[in-house]
Amino acid sequence: MAGFVLYWGPMTRWENFRWGAIGVLGRRLLGVWLGSCRVKTLGLERYEQARRDGRPVIILIWHGRLLVAPYFFRKRGIAALVSPSRDGEFIARIVGGWGFRVIRGSSSHPIIRAWAKMKEDLGSGGELIIIPDGPRGPDRKLKSGALKLARDTGALLVPFSFSASRKRFLRSWDRFLLVGPFSRIAAVCGKPVAISPDAGDDALEKLREDIELALTALDAEADACFEPGGSAPRG
């Protein structure tokens, strides 16, 4: 079917059917799993104010904290940059069924067409999710593409992280966070960052380093919500 591409080539009808079934099953399982949890927020007013002001937004989430994001941001019409790989196809099928507008591309694949689409979406006041250390890492190393996109479109960069009262970290390159069913989940939003359209390479690199540190610190802040004396997220 038109609209679905695997490894930058067209799918057969059988491949499309198989991936569609995998997506439906994955979405239902993830919905039941995360639907059993209580999701509360910290700092979300920063993001909500940017949207009320009509500002385009680029949401940044580390690859290792990705699990909750499709469920949390579902049915908002947000665009999502998804790798054109086998893992990416699985994610694309899940989020596509939750109302995301899927853009296929990544730092490890040709991205010219995806870049144009992202600029178009943000130029019309939209919002986009980017995993800035994906799809292959290095872990928590911010690639500069999101900053250049924000500079070119006037979008705000908004860091996000997630944690849970019952969690486990996999021994993967990104220490992927698994959330236990019936957990309390913290969705933590950081301070939005605006980038001047006149920012040169040196200024962009300094901002890249600052945002990388802030996004990593946001992971620790999310985890601390469930430690004694931690900040309690709001519902």
Q: Does the structure show a pLDDT above 80 at 97? A: yes
Is residue 137 within 8 A of residue 107, CB to CB? The reply is no
Rounded mean pLDDT, 205-213: 97
Question: What average pLDDT does the segment 68-82 reach?
Answer: 93
**Nearby residues of 205 by Cβ (< 8 Å), 6 or more positions away:** 144
Residue 171, class by beta-carbon neighbours within 10 Å (0-12 exposed, 13-18 middle, 19+ buried)? exposed
Q: Which fold has domain 5-224?
A: Glycerol-3-phosphate (1)-acyltransferase (3.40.1130)
Q: Which residues contact 164 (CB under 8 A, 6 or more apart)?
A: 37, 68, 177, 179, 180, 183, 184, 185, 186, 226
When pLDDT is cut at 50, 70 and 90, the band that residue 1 belongs to is very low
**What is the predicted pLDDT for the residue at 108?**
56
> Would you list the domain boundaries of the chain?
5-224
Q: Give the residue-averaged pLDDT of 182-197.
A: 95
- Identify the pLDDT of residue 161: 98
In tens, the pLDDT along 149-177 reads: 999 999 999 999 999 999 999 999 999 99
> Residue 9 CB: number of other CB atoms within 10 A?
8
In this prediction, residues 203-216 reach a mean pLDDT of 96
Q: Give the mean model confidence (pLDDT) for residues 139-156.
A: 95
Confidence of residue 105 (pLDDT cuts 50, 70, 90): confident
pLDDT at 6 over 50: no
What pTM was computed for the model?
A: 0.87
